Structure 1
């Protein structure tokens, strides 16, 4: 992980620790090019976590948005999932 990513995740962890009681429910939002392989890979990352995953294609069908609501134990678990999803090519995290 590069220094910029480390700094970002460090700030995110601090905000999550200070602003949320853990364990807690967290909402992830991602946008990916509409490719079933990419959405399947993201869904697999959250498999067996009890996550609720909603997908919606853009008007022209070129992109798919994913809203993933999942109950997690602590901020480290939130960041772990962001890092895993970040390995999927073309993903934009919101």
Structure 2
């Protein structure tokens, strides 16, 4: 992981620790190229967690916004999930 990414996750961890008591519902937002397989990969990353997933396709149809509400146990669990899904080709975490 590069230094910029590490700094981002450190800031995110600090913000999450300040703003929530854990466990808490967290809203993950991603943008992926519109591809059924990529959307399935995102869905699979949250499988068995009781997550509620909503997808919205862009006007051009090239990209799909994926929003996921799910209970997470800690700020580190949120960061671990972001790292896990970052391996999906073309995904952008918001």
- Quote the Cα distance in structure 2 between the aligned partners of 1:63 and 1:19: 30
Pairwise CA distance, 1:89: 1.1
Matching of residues 8-47 of structure 1 within 5 Å = 8-47=8-47
Pairwise CA distance, 1:74: 0.5
- Quote the Cα distance in structure 2 between the aligned partners of 1:50 and 1:38: 20
Q: TM-score, normalising length from structure 1?
A: 0.96
RMSD between aligned residues:
0.8
Structure 1: give runs of 5+ residues left out of the alignment. Answer: none
- Quote the Cα distance in structure 1 between the aligned partners of 2:73 and 2:30: 21
Pairwise CA distance, 1:4: 1.1
Structure 2: give runs of 5+ residues left out of the alignment. Answer: none
Pairwise CA distance, 1:14: 0.7
**What is the total number of aligned residue pairs between the two structures?**
94
Per-residue CA distance 1:25-84 (angstroms, 9 max, x = gap): 000111111011111111100000000000111112111010000001100110011001
Per-residue CA distance 1:8-30 (angstroms, 9 max, x = gap): 10110011001111110000111
